[in-house]
Structure 1
Amino acid sequence: MALITAFLYLITAVGATETEPEEMETEASVILLHGMGRTRRSMATMASRLADSGYRVVNLDYPSTGASIETLSEGVVAETVRDCRLAHPSAPVHFVTHSLGGILVRQYLQTRRLPPGSRVVMLSPPNQGSELADLLKDWFLYRWIMGPAGQQLGTAEDSVPNRLGPVDVPVGIITGDSTLEPWFSARLPGPDDGKVSVARARLAEMDDFLVVHKSHGFIMNDTQVIDQTIHFLEHGRFRHDH
């Protein structure tokens, strides 16, 4: 396991990009974690906007389909947080995650804490699992493409998302109710984003929750979502227009 963790971190270190604005307004870091089967390119727009807002941004590329949630959390999340804290020991370390990335952070926070002032924004997280993982987990093609983590995202009580305990950090969740995948949405109860139902994105301990008319695969690129993400990192809440 130690060798696997070291190998995964080596891959991650090579694939990570750090973006710094010309004039830093804060020493706070923001770690970006993309979703399953994606790359750091999917978070590039978010990374650029966060850097323009004065954050030290670490946009990770990690092998989301190559290992279990536990191994990815140890080999990706833990090492990256450690590096941020070594660089700026007293500064907050925020997270902005998409889909699976949120579950990796929850796994990490089961046994560790972030520095004071840190916050987490999750975009379309399967926090209570997804019915699609239940439906597809035994399909060879799904198992081959999505790997070990894809087998852990079901809705059963013993699935990883449903086994994890509460996290001790302010969490804001943004999820979508628009879909580009009606064939998947037909198998999800209630409003959904094509992959995760609105109801299953929630966490009991979340500090704020927002539903936008966006789909799962593109929610992180939406201007409104990026603005709300920055607002939560700054204020610990979303901006709710009445």
Structure 2
Amino acid sequence: MTADTVVLLHGLGRSPWAMNGLAGYLRRQEFTVLNQGYASRQGSIAGLCQQILNDLKPHFSGLGKIHFVTHSLGGILLRYGLQSWDLPVARLGRAVMLAPPTQGSEVVDVLRWIPFLPKLMGPSFLQLGTDQNSVPIQLMQLEKAELALEVGVIAGRKSYEPWFAPLFGGENDGKVSVARSRLPGMRDFRVLDVGHTFIMNDKKVRQHILHFLQHGHFI
């Protein structure tokens, strides 16, 4: 029996190291895991998606379902990829998005005006706001209610960055509000007491991820 594959996509300013613990956990559950890296601060969302596609394409010719687990920007890259990649639709399985700025992030709206920060964070950072140039919001206009694969979203409501609190009108994980993490067409949604940066390392989050990949809904 061919094992299903899980592609991991880390967030902005991170590397595959951030997802190593989760990768090990999923391998112990007998998944084939591709912990995909990309230069998150060195390209636009479109450019990063093309890089990721080039790296993943050799793995799309096998058997078994292809699942995704993404963190933050990784979720936007997956959504963009579903609109632009030539994927083997029959092999698409499920996806869990952790703390995705599905409808943009208010933090980006403010930090984009700090001198030198946009240059430091890169082009993709500037595309994650909530204004008319927001790629996440533009994607919502392209996406149909029925997505190409089953998606579950896990949002956090614990912030370790209180200085950003005034930017949000409700629960948030310090970088993304719970309200803006919701994706139309998602199959399931959970809000947990976790922060944005290390959400993938939480034991309960990992249990929810595994259950969704196996059954299509969270515990």
TM class by smaller structure: over 0.9
Q: Deviations over 1:176-205 (max 9, x none)?
A: 000100001221220000000000000111
Match of 2:71 among 79, 82, 98: 98
- SS at 2:167's partner residue? coil
Match of 1:213 among 161, 170, 193: 193
**Distance in 1 (alpha carbons) for counterparts of 2:125 and 2:92:** 32
Question: 1:67 maps to what in 2?
Answer: 43
* Residue identity opposite 2:104 in structure 1: G
Question: 1:45 maps to what in 2?
Answer: 21
Q: Deviations over 1:40-97 (max 9, x none)?
A: 1111110000000011101122110110001101111x224422212x1x32111100
Q: Does 1:107 align with 2:80?
A: yes
- The question of whether the paired residues in 1 share the 8 Å contact of 2:92 and 2:148 is answered with no
Q: CA deviation at 1:117?
A: 4.9
Flag structure 2 segments of 5+ consecutive residues without an equivalent: none
Question: 1:138 maps to what in 2?
Answer: 113
- The question of whether the paired residues in 2 share the 8 Å contact of 1:66 and 1:148 is answered with yes
**Distance in 2 (alpha carbons) for counterparts of 1:107 and 1:92:** 20
Aligned-pair identity in percent equals 43
Q: Deviations over 1:101-128 (max 9, x none)?
A: 0000000001344433511110000000
- SS at 1:194's partner residue? coil
Aligned residues: 212
- SS at 2:90's partner residue? coil
Residues 137 and 238 of structure 1, relative CA distance in 2, 3 Å threshold: same
- SS at 1:195's partner residue? coil
- The question of whether the paired residues in 2 share the 8 Å contact of 1:93 and 1:118 is answered with yes
In the TM superposition, 1:8-27 aligns within 5 A as: 26-27=2-3
**Distance in 1 (alpha carbons) for counterparts of 2:48 and 2:165:** 28
Taking structure 1 as the reference length, the TM-score comes to: 0.84
- SS at 1:72's partner residue? helix
- SS at 2:8's partner residue? strand
* Residue identity opposite 1:189 in structure 2: G
* Residue identity opposite 2:26 in structure 1: L
Query: Cα RMSD between the aligned structures?
Result: 1.4
Taking structure 2 as the reference length, the TM-score comes to: 0.92
Q: CA deviation at 1:137?
A: 1.1
Q: CA deviation at 1:146?
A: 1.0
Flag structure 1 segments of 5+ consecutive residues without an equivalent: 1-24
Q: CA deviation at 1:142?
A: 1.8
